[in-house]
Amino acid sequence: MRADMTFSIVARCGITGHLGVAVATAVPAVGSMCPFTLAGTGAVSTQSWVNPYLALRVLEAIAAGTAAAPALAAVLADDPERDLRQIGVVDAAGGAAAWSGGACTGWYGHETGPGFAIQGNMLTGPDVVASMRQSFEASAGLPLDERLMRAMEAGDQAGGDKRGRQSASLRIQGAEAYPALDLRVDEHPRPVQELRRVLEIARLQLVPFVEGMPRRGLTPGPAPLEVTEMLALSPPDRPGGGGSRR
């Protein structure tokens, strides 16, 4: 049995240095299984027959000074089931690498470029990955969350997972040990579309809250008054809260 047939993108923002992963699949709760990030180090999506330890070991190797490609190669060399794996990696310098084992379920494949890796398996065809790359490269200069979201929308519109749709996630890692953004749609008939809706709300309600959280090396200050006042409101009364779930 194969699990977690998926399409994803891992990337680094050349402007901010932020790292991110966006991923969607026809399995529940993809955000709990596939994306891994480490501040100042890298981002990984592990998929096909998922092995989280591959992602963790790749990030450990990058943190120790190895670039994305040799880090991934070394970790895969020790995995006897590497033909079942698919994994994409980007490091904090923008180096990217990907692997698609020969036993992944078709269509499968990947593309890499400066600062990004895009990969997918059990897809409707190569147009999914190609469309994601075209979208990501065309959106240079935009914030990383928007670039990743647009890439996922392009992949979804190109066909996505050939079994259908169920979950999606978007994770952005800044300089702090905690993520700047970690959004998940865990059970939805149109998860990428729902992820876009959640992202728009998060930008208005969640991002200001996270930006006011304690930061490494700084004395924690009081929560910004405008944020606490906004979050004291009922969700429908907050900015962006007037829409209904689709």
Note the pLDDT tens digit of each residue in 152-171: 999 999 986 666 689 999 99
User: Where does the pLDDT of residue 225 fall: very low under 50, low under 70, confident under 90, or very high at 90 and above?
Assistant: confident
Contact assessment for residue 85 and residue 112, using Cβ atoms and an 8 Å cutoff: no
Q: Is the pLDDT assigned to residue 241 strictly greater than 90?
A: no
Tokens of 180: 């700047």
Q: Is the pLDDT assigned to residue 196 strictly greater than 90?
A: yes
φ and ψ at 213, to 5 degrees?
-75, 160
Q: The domain 6-192: what is its CATH number? A: 3.60.20.10
Tokens of 245: 């779930």
Beta bridge pairs of residue 108: none
Structure letter (DSSP) for residue 49: S
Q: What is the three-class DSSP state of 231?
A: helix
117: closest CA among 15, 28, 19? 19
Beta bridge pairs of residue 181: 172
Do the strands 116-120 and 109-113 form a parallel or antiparallel pair, or are they unpaired?
A: antiparallel
pTM here?
0.94
Contact assessment for residue 46 and residue 52, using Cβ atoms and an 8 Å cutoff: yes
